[in-house]
């Protein structure tokens, strides 16, 4: 699901990596993102999600966004641009 939606939002391929279920660890009844599995400098990694703080084991890299419908006029990801710069 995530791959399809991200490709719609980013048809030019600026987003390099999409974390799916294989990048998670099951902990406290939920799947948590494990960014260390990316084998990258975590100062260069950000995790955007509605549940970012609850589902990311590296909280310094988690940036919560409000839920969006990702239809025309939705600004959810545009509002996150300042943190991405």
Mean pLDDT per segment of 10 residues, for the chain of length 85 residues? 74 80 82 85 85 83 76 75 74
Question: d(Cα 19, Cα 25) in Å, to the nearest integer?
Answer: 12
Question: d(Cα 20, Cα 3) in Å, to the nearest integer?
Answer: 8
pLDDT for the residue 45 = 86
Helix (H, G, I), strand (E, B) or coil at 58: coil
Positive or negative: CA dihedral 22, 26, 32, 34 = negative
pLDDT for the residue 33 = 85
H helices within the chain, ranges in order? 2-9, 52-55, 81-84
pLDDT for the residue 15 = 80
pLDDT for the residue 37 = 82
pTM over cut 0.85: no
């Amino acid at each position: 699901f995530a791959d399809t939606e991200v490709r719609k939002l980013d048809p030019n391929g600026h987003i390099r990596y999409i974390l799916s279920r294989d990048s998670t660890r099951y902990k406290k009844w939920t799947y948590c993102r494990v960014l260390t599995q990316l084998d990258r400098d975590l100062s260069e990694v950000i995790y955007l999600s509605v549940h970012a703080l609850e589902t990311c084991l590296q909280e310094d890299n988690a940036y919560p966004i409000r839920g969006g419908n990702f239809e025309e006029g939705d600004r959810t990801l545009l509002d996150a641009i300042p943190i991405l710069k």
